[in-house]
Amino acid sequence: MISEVVPGAPHIALLFNPTNSAGIAILTETEAAAATRSIFLVPAPAGSLEELPAALQRAVEEKANALIVGADVLFSTRYASVIEFAFQKRLPTIFFVAREVRAGGLMSYGVDPADSFRRAAALVDKILKGAKPADLPVEQPTKLELVVNLKTAKALGITIPPSILARADEVIE
């Protein structure tokens, strides 16, 4: 989606945690997607808070045109500093959680936390009523949400394409 917002962007950075297996999976999947679009993916690994500034700086040094922030608790705890850095460097961002967009990030696409909590509550209810956890099906998230911050887009001089706005679950104006 970020490549739709920044068309023709040859370099997109991915902030990911290399010490987290989910971070490695995000890197692998994003590399594959970037290759199909002729995008050079700039890996920006940060496995600790101490490594975060250098990872963000690497994105700038490698001339990234946008920043994908991987889903990781490490980045979630410092999302304000990631947003501030990206804004200062004029890097459009996409996160996995809407909270970051409401705080000034450009956009997010990910699991709807409220829907996930409702589904978890339903499973807990079944367990409390006697169901064996091993007998319950594994569920994948079914509801994803797209949130776009038009204030941030305007400040960065970006026009969000109508195709993105039409798909958005929430638009911050």
Q: How many CA atoms lie within 13 A of 113 on its CB side?
A: 6
For residue 92, the model assigns a pLDDT of 95
Helix (H) or strand (E) holding 27: helix 21-36
Average confidence score pLDDT of the chain: 91
Whether the predicted pLDDT of 59 surpasses 90: yes
Whether the predicted pLDDT of 3 surpasses 90: no
For residue 62, the model assigns a pLDDT of 92
String of DSSP letters for 97-154: SHHHHHTT-SEEEEE-HHHHHHHHHHHHHHHHTT--GGGSPP-----EEEEEEHHHHH
Confidence of residue 9 (pLDDT cuts 50, 70, 90): confident
For residue 113, the model assigns a pLDDT of 78
Whether the predicted pLDDT of 8 surpasses 80: no
The pTM score is 0.85
Greater confidence, 60 or 3? 60
Out of 16-20, 37-41, 86-90, 115-119, which region has the weakest mean confidence (pLDDT)? Answer: 115-119
Q: What's the alpha-carbon Rg for the chain, to the nearest Å?
A: 17
Whether the predicted pLDDT of 14 surpasses 90: yes
Q: Could you tell me which residues come within 8 angstroms of residue 124 by beta carbon, excluding any fewer than 6 positions away? A: none
For residue 142, the model assigns a pLDDT of 79
Confidence of residue 141 (pLDDT cuts 50, 70, 90): confident
3-state SS, residue 39: coil
Average pLDDT over residues 119-123: 88
For residue 116, the model assigns a pLDDT of 80
**Which position has the token pair 């459009």?**
92
Give all domains of the chain, ordered by start, each with its CATH number: 2-112+143-172 (3.40.50.2300)
